[in-house]
Structure 1
Amino acid sequence: MQFGVFSVGDITRDPTTGRIPTEHERLQAMVAIAKKAEEVGLDVFASGQHHNPPFVTSAPTTLLAYVAAQTERIVLSTATTLITTTDPVRIAEDYATLQHLSGGRVDLMMGRGNTGPVYPWFGQDIRNGVPLAIENYALLHRLWREDSVSWEGRFRTPLQSFTSTPRPLDGVPPFVWHGSIRTPEIAEQAAYYGDGFFHNNIFWPIHHTRQMVRLYRQRFEHYGHGRADQAIVGLGGQVFMHRSSQEAVKQFRPYFDVAPVYGHGPSLEEFTEMTPLTVGSPQQVIDRYAAMRHEVGDYQRQLFLIDHAGLPLETVLEQIEILGTEVVPVLRREMAIGRPADVPDAPTHGSLVQKAGGPRDVTVYAVDGVTGRRAEAVA
């Protein structure tokens, strides 16, 4: 099972000091967080995608490529790739390039985003959010698997004999998770393709998570990809830890109260009761997250939001140290107990290449340098 951290890249005033980091400091902090996650043995670092203040994560492939150059093992992912407002041709090209540069250490989490104004900024209408997600991903899926794509849809100009370059590394596209917290159509989409489903349940009670994951598992089996318990599931989460649970609450409360994603709403105590946010000792985090499998079944990826709400970098790195040295090793052991041997691990580039029968060079050489079309299409 994979464990990791994700960042939404928010720029938030530290309520205890009044200091606001610059964009430069925030981006550099995210790099430091990724490197620390690898250092302590975590498996995944993921970045969100936002195009509005107070976030700095508008170019996740640039950030992840920079991180790839400074790391060796950790999987680089997105906490959201905006499939609704990002051209699928651009996604195909950018993430295939990142796949090559990182040696295959990349996957994606498709999402629609939760910021309404983004849609018109990129020429779209939020009322088409679900149709955009479905159509754009159908095109992306083909672009990574077909050398020449002719296509026509509702939301972008048609393609004629188009070849996306570079082709996927070893002939195997990056693995895709479909992220949603409330939309059954996205769970259905993930099941249809046999992709992963990530329920980033940082705002939701466990009974809602259970329902969404159950739907995905049932439909995964319906489409013939395997048994329901073999479906690929990921969960989100949030933690803040201290040796003393009382001290953890005392330290985190000022940050919680002003957090841009949930501040000024329910109390910290109410929120931790209703959602997976766990503020307390490492053992409390272990107990809370070890129990997740009893709600959703054996799953493959657990990511924690750990650097938000104005928390200073030093504190975040301390949290990652605790997570990697005290919490995750125990969770790995707990999650392995009684896990069926035929329930798969989270897909990696290596496992996908093996499943495909080995690496292949899928470079497309024969093209017309003027029109960009393949030679046979021009003839």
Structure 2
Amino acid sequence: MEFGIFTVGDVTTDPTTGRTPTEHERIKNTIAIATKAEEVGLDVFATGQHHNPPFVPSAPTTTLAYIAAQTSTLKLSTSTTLITTTDPVRIAEDYATLQHLSDGRMDLMMGRGNTGPVYPWFGKDIRDGISLAIENYALLRRLWREENVDWHGKHRTPLQGFTSTPRPLDGVAPFVWHGSIRSPEIAEQAAYYGDGFFSNHIFWPASHTQQMVALYRRRFEHYGHGSADQAIVGLGGQVFMAKNSQDAVRTFRPYFDNAPVYGHGPSLEDFTSQTPLTVGSPQEVIEKTLGFREYVGDYQRQLFLMDHAGLPLKLVLEQLDLLGEEVIPVLRREFEALRPSHVPATAPSHAALVAASVERTSSVVERPASVVERPASVVE
């Protein structure tokens, strides 16, 4: 199983000091957090994509390419890439470039985002969100898999004989996750293509996440990619730790109460009891995270949000030390002991995708031209 962290890149005032970091500080701190993640033994670092204050990660591939140059084992990803408002040609070129620069140490997550005003900024209509996600991703797949693309659709100008450059590393497209909190159409899309499905269930009760993941698993099996329990699932979550739970709650409470996303709402106690947020000792984080398996089954990637709500860099780095030293080793051991041998341990690596491509090429059997498959609610 892969463990890592993700950031939304918010620039938030520290409620305990009243100090707000500059954008420069926040961007540089993101690099420090990512390199620390590799140092403590994490597998993945992912960054969001936002184009509005108070967030800074508007150019995720630039940030990830810089991190790639500072690291050697860390897998780089997104959380998420805005498939609705970023042109598929731009995504194809940017992430293929990142693929080359990182020697394949990357994948990416497609998503619609949660900021409504971003749509008109990029000439789109939020009412077309699902349609944009479906059409743009269908084009992106073709751009990565075909050298000369003729295409026309509803949401962008046609392409004639277009070749996206650079071509994907080793001729193999990056592995893709589809991230969604509430849209069954996106779970269906992920299942249709045999891609990964990521549920960032920070704000939702276990019952909701269970339903979304179960839908994806059923449809993954329906489309013939493997058994339902072999589907590639990722989860989000947020933790804050101290050696004892009382200190964790005391330290984190002012950050929670003033957080730009969930502050000034339910109490910390209510939120932690109703959602995956865990504030407590490393052992409490271990126990609650292991409990995720009870309602989503064996899954392949767990990402934690560690740097939100104005937490200062020093405190975030201390959190990563606790995560890497006391939490992840136990989670790795316990999850692996529970995982059946036929269930993938991780999302496919670049090397695994290359090997699978070679195997398909050597054993390909042409299908009748009249056979066309389409998912129940996904139209290319």
For Structure 1 versus Structure 2, the TM-score category normalised by the shorter chain is over 0.9
Tell me the SS of whatever aligns to 1:106.
Answer: coil
Deviations 1:104-139 (A, max 9, x none): 011001000110000000000000000000000000
**Matched ranges for 1:146-295 at <5 A:** 146-295=146-295
TM-score (normalised: structure 1) = 0.94
Structure-1 separation of matches of 2:340 and 2:147:
38
Amino acid at match of 2:225: H
Deviations 1:205-238 (A, max 9, x none): 0010000000000000000000000000000000
CA displacement at 1:268 relative to structure 2: 0.3
Aligned sequence identity (%): 75
> Which residue does 2:350 correspond to in 1?
349
Amino acid at match of 2:283: Q
Structure-1 separation of matches of 2:356 and 2:141:
18
> Which residue does 1:29 correspond to in 2?
29
CA 1:179–1:93: 2 relative to 1, 3 Å = same
Structure-2 separation of matches of 1:258 and 1:38:
30
CA displacement at 1:247 relative to structure 2: 0.7
Deviations 1:16-36 (A, max 9, x none): 000000000000000000000
Structure-1 separation of matches of 2:354 and 2:297:
27
Task: Provide runs of 4+ in structure 1 moved above 6 Å.
Answer: none
Q: 5+ unaligned residues in a row in structure 2: which ranges?
A: 362-380
CA displacement at 1:350 relative to structure 2: 1.3
CA displacement at 1:340 relative to structure 2: 1.2
Tell me the SS of whatever aligns to 1:325.
Answer: helix
**Matched ranges for 1:31-180 at <5 A:** 31-180=31-180
CA displacement at 1:338 relative to structure 2: 2.9
> Which residue does 1:336 correspond to in 2?
336
Task: Determine if contact 1:6/1:303 at 8 Å carries over to the other structure.
Answer: yes
Structure-1 separation of matches of 2:112 and 2:279:
29
Task: Determine if contact 1:202/1:236 at 8 Å carries over to the other structure.
Answer: yes
Structure-1 separation of matches of 2:245 and 2:110:
35
Structure-2 separation of matches of 1:351 and 1:43:
16
> Which residue does 1:318 correspond to in 2?
318
Amino acid at match of 1:195: D
Amino acid at match of 2:134: I
Deviations 1:51-86 (A, max 9, x none): 000000000000000000100000000010000000
Tell me the SS of whatever aligns to 1:321.
Answer: helix
Tell me the SS of whatever aligns to 2:141.
Answer: helix
Amino acid at match of 1:225: H
Structure-1 separation of matches of 2:360 and 2:36:
31
CA displacement at 1:341 relative to structure 2: 1.1
> Which residue does 1:373 correspond to in 2?
none
Structure-2 separation of matches of 1:323 and 1:350:
28
Structure-1 separation of matches of 2:190 and 2:37:
28
> Which residue does 2:368 correspond to in 1?
none
Tell me the SS of whatever aligns to 1:94.
Answer: helix
Structure-2 separation of matches of 1:323 and 1:214:
29
> Which residue does 2:376 correspond to in 1?
none
> Which residue does 2:369 correspond to in 1?
none
CA RMSD of aligned residues (A): 1.1
Tell me the SS of whatever aligns to 1:357.
Answer: helix
Structure-1 separation of matches of 2:240 and 2:338:
29
Q: 5+ unaligned residues in a row in structure 1: which ranges?
A: 361-379
Structure-1 separation of matches of 2:145 and 2:199:
26
Structure-2 separation of matches of 1:275 and 1:103:
37
CA 1:314–1:201: 2 relative to 1, 3 Å = same
Tell me the SS of whatever aligns to 2:338.
Answer: coil
CA displacement at 1:337 relative to structure 2: 1.4
TM-score (normalised: structure 2) = 0.94
Task: Determine if contact 1:171/1:359 at 8 Å carries over to the other structure.
Answer: no
Deviations 1:274-326 (A, max 9, x none): 11000000000000001111110100000000000000000000001100111
CA displacement at 1:359 relative to structure 2: 12
Amino acid at match of 2:55: F
Task: Determine if contact 1:46/1:79 at 8 Å carries over to the other structure.
Answer: yes
Bigger drift between 3-12 and 335-344 goes to 335-344
Number of residue pairs aligned between Structure 1 and Structure 2: 360
Tell me the SS of whatever aligns to 1:69.
Answer: helix
Structure-2 separation of matches of 1:196 and 1:93:
21
Amino acid at match of 2:357: A
Structure-2 separation of matches of 1:117 and 1:191:
29
CA displacement at 1:358 relative to structure 2: 7.6
Task: Determine if contact 1:170/1:359 at 8 Å carries over to the other structure.
Answer: no
> Which residue does 1:367 correspond to in 2?
none
Amino acid at match of 2:22: T
CA displacement at 1:353 relative to structure 2: 1.1
